[in-house]
Structure 1
């Protein structure tokens, strides 16, 4: 009997282009045409956008990957957030007056940047009713989009699935069955302070990476028996910064560090946890292992991650950023001759995203045998 396969797409801002490159390679390796090879799609932040896009076109999987490549390869920053000088000036003045007056002269700003252009783009490119059509037709089993609730202070996974999947509630995380719409995606990408929080019913939600200590959990809870995980973080220690004359960290460096920790560190901790569980189950032989009245199960997985330093790639394309954003980043302490995590997350320019797509494609092709073996075992 075929095992249910989950595709896990963590967050990473503009780094999400790397995931698209890997999927492009996967399409070539698997020779998949119409039917989706994945039963469960689970995404956070930019990964949620990629997951929802694929789930909405799962009945034409090959076309969905080609379309997703087209979206990311033609990105410009102003398709994601407003970069015109007037908007940026108003935002800067608003923040300044709010801070110096303690909120007396101006109400508290919702965010540093306005990502209304992204909302317009997603409304045009994703047909949300088709997600339910694909669930009802059993083309896919479920789609999960994770956000963070500012009210409950929990990681909240909104999921769309067939009738036999119920809500769940655990410490600091919960799952809510719903019909995924544009607001769920915009909430999942709402980086704290950078993009505005999104109201869903009577709660405000922010980026799904916040408080998401177990990014593999939603796909497993929805029935995945093996996971393909496309990470946007390099795992090679050679890519760590090596600056013998280290200066005091700028605001930009600290923010980039926080974003990297927010988006990427939880994934590898969760993979280590999954490894321990898998090892316990393997060592138990035929004996059933139970916890909290549930039987633990072995979950096979494959991780694909960048073979090159994405911060270094972003640095090469610094000049492609709109002038208003470059000035903002320089004001935060970002130097054009230094690698920056923050730049690698916010650089939604086609020269950069295309290079990440190409890298993802090469890394995927480089794991051709591993991918083929994973899908067939």
Structure 2
């Protein structure tokens, strides 16, 4: 039987497909981690604008503790930025060491430094809305209902791109993925087809990351090889299946930024728009989680062959519950005090997860799917 695992540089992986059948011995060997005390894991990083600083805090806690080896990272929007910054920081240091444990230790510290450099740069922007200061947000919100970014931002100014290219050497990252750096999978939505596409390996560029974070009411669609892309959150926020197909471990830690549940019915315009935003950017993730849960139940009932199907273990840091009080509109706020506040809350959440659930890795799911 032919392998169900896509080729590493497959041109397109449709966002609505949720494949789980794999033949890991032939295509993706089972991962062993750094040593018996440092098992492998994959990360799934949700997008959410400046709320990605919360994810920075979680990643900082993981890298400081050094007890997990990150094999793969799937990220969308801000999650994609965190993914490439962390992977590059890890890889550039790990590549200088021949001893695997020393490489891991150096990589973790370098990843923390790269993430700090990136988010401190974000903190100097004040706003993520194409140069619009936070004081002008109300006017911008009103204008965006009637004018497109092709009118309000004709030069397609996006300071995040300059910052990203300053922090990440994409040519190095393309080469080192799966070697000294974690494999990275970035999702963007193809405007023409409406499907999510995965950018990894040689396709992982600054354009791909900016496409993954391209909100259509703020920025022009990003063109990549005659195709145009919008934010990956519409089709996979983040996508889980690349981590199932193209890594050799069975553990995924999801860092979620959008709350799933809402205790009250939204009543004013801002609350309604915030809730619509949360539902929209959680929809694809919930679909994949339901599919994974279905496969797990079939495996538990003995109706599927465990030699052909991965039994995935899901873990969860729920940033949505922590960030709900800020509201979706604050995702465009990126002044240094706010970014640092989100980082600290993420750091605490990451430390709590390590204390309470680190022992679940390789053993059981700490998150019901």
Give the TM-score of the pair, scaled to structure 2. Answer: 0.72
1:39 is aligned to 2:64: no
Question: Is residue 79–residue 118 contact of structure 1 (8 Å, CA) maintained in 2?
Answer: no
| Distance verdict in 2 for CA 1:22–1:62, change over 3 Å | same
Is 2:339 the partner of 1:341? no
After superposition, residues 1-377 of structure 1 pair within 5 angstroms as: 2=32, 5-30=41-66, 37-58=69-90, 59=94, 60-73=107-120, 75-78=123-126, 80=128, 81-83=130-132, 109=151, 115-135=157-177, 138-140=179-181, 142-160=183-201, 178-212=202-236, 215-223=239-247, 224-234=249-259, 240-241=263-264, 246=267, 249-250=268-269, 252-284=270-302, 288=305, 295-306=308-319, 308-312=321-325, 314=326, 340-343=327-330, 345-375=331-361, 377=363
Deviation per residue, 1:187-217 (Å, 9 max, x gap) = 0000121222100010110000112387211
| Cα distance change, pair 149–111 in 1 and its aligned pair in 2 (3 A) | farther
Secondary structure of 1:363's counterpart equals: helix
Task: Provide the rounded CA distance (Å) in 2 between the counterparts of 1:94 and 1:147.
Answer: 26
Aligned length: 309
- Distance, in Å, in 2 between the alignment partners of 1:149 and 1:204 is 6
- Note the C-alpha offset of 1:23: 1.2
Match of 1:39, SS?
A: strand
Name the SS of the counterpart of 1:266 in structure 2.
helix
Residues 211 and 303 of structure 1: CA distance in aligned 2, closer, same or farther (over 3 Å): same
Unaligned runs of 5+ in 1: 100-106, 161-177, 315-339
Are the counterparts in 2 of residues 112 and 195 from structure 1 also a CA contact under 8 Å? no
Instruction: Rate the CA distance shift 1:39–1:11 in 2: closer, same or farther, 3 A.
Output: same
Contact 1:44 1:188 in 2 (8 A): yes
The structure number with the bigger radius of gyration is 1
Which whole-Å deviations, capped at 9, do the CAs of 1:81-122 have from their partners, x for residues lacking one?
Answer: 30269x9999899879869xxxxxxx9537699551111111
TM-superposed deviation, 1:145: 0.7
Any idea what the Cα deviations from partners look like across 1:134-159, whole Å, max 9, x if unmatched?
A: 236x2246211100001122111111
Paired with 1:92 and 1:341, the residues of 2 have a C-alpha distance of 13
Contact 1:12 1:264 in 2 (8 A): no
State the 1:234 CA deviation.
Answer: 3.9
Native 8 Å contact 2:185 2:200 kept in 1: yes
Cα offset, 1:296, TM superposition: 2.4
Rate the CA distance shift 1:182–1:280 in 2: closer, same or farther, 3 A. same
- Separation in 2, partners of 1:120, 1:88: 23
CA contact (8 A) 1:110 1:196 kept: no
What is the alpha-carbon distance in structure 1 between the residues aligned to residue 316 and residue 232 of structure 2? 20
Query: Contact 1:16/1:47 (CA < 8 Å) preserved in 2?
Result: yes
Shift of 1:228: 1.4
Distance 2:229 2:343 in 1: 29
- In 2: Cα distance, 1:364 partner to 1:95 partner: 36
Q: Assess, with a 3 A threshold, how the Cα gap between structure 1 residues 96 and 376 changes in structure 2: closer, same or farther.
A: closer
- Equivalent pair of 2:46/2:75 in contact (CA under 8 Å): yes
